[in-house]
Structure 1
Amino acid sequence: MMDDEVSGKERVAQILGFLEAAFAAEGGTIGARLKFDYGADGCVFIDGTATPPKVHSRSEAADCTVVLSPDDHWRMLNMELDQTQAFRQGKLKISGDPLVPLRLGPVVARYHGRRA
């Protein structure tokens, strides 16, 4: 699912579209505000306190911020990279409540099940 010709900003746009579609299809919420920070490539913010959750690319204060590359995040969303292994390998840094990103897993897994 990786396309080596995609720029970081294009990958962020793909991630944003994926998460918007996953929340639209699955509903539910993560009960917190979560930001994925991709450095110069931008960010994706999930307001999981809203129903339905709001997903956008504006940087806002979050309960948890995950710093990682857009390509690694894309691989995680497509179940090609385990988030625990990525953390242990130093591919992502978490500040704030470390349990918040784990709440996203079931939404992504259910969405993959629908797309299969």
Structure 2
Amino acid sequence: MTLDEATQAMRGLFEGKDSGLDRTLKLDFGADGVVFIDAKSAPNSVSNEDREADTTMSISLANFEKLRSGELQGQQAFMSGALSVEGDLMGAMAFGTYSASQQ
């Protein structure tokens, strides 16, 4: 998975909608870049701007793809260190619940 593919996937889930999450989220893929989701604004927007977020989730693109395909579960990724969360932990949980409900 590339950064562009991850960005497009998040646009499909969030952009132009009101997810009801009412927070900002950042997917930090390290040297590969970031996806910033503004779910405070309605409609929500998605960009590759590296901005401060209420919740930042750091994960490799490879593990993000595994999460999206169901090969890796969020709790498993978190407990194994494949996913780390900074800021509002509830934001990460809400992101996971919303993402799963949209697929």
- After TM superposition, the structure 1 = structure 2 runs for residues 45-64 of structure 1, keeping only pairs within 5 Å, are 45-64=36-55
Q: Aligned pair 1:66/2:57, yes or no?
A: yes
Give 2:75's aligned residue. Answer: 84
Inter-partner Cα distance in structure 2 for 1:27 and 1:74: 24
Report SS of the residue matched to 2:75: helix
In structure 2, runs of 5+ residues without a counterpart are: none
- Report the TM-score, using the length of structure 1 for normalisation: 0.79
- Kept in 1, the 8 Å contact 2:77–2:83? The answer is yes
Report SS of the residue matched to 2:42: coil
In structure 1, runs of 5+ residues without a counterpart are: 1-5
Q: Deviations over 1:25-76 (max 9, x none)?
A: 8642311111111111000011110111111111001111111101111221
Q: Aligned pair 1:33/2:19, yes or no?
A: no
Aligned length: 103
Q: CA RMSD in A?
A: 1.7
Matched-pair identity in %: 28
Residue identity opposite 2:92 in structure 1: P
Give 1:107's aligned residue. Answer: 98
- Report the TM-score, using the length of structure 2 for normalisation: 0.88
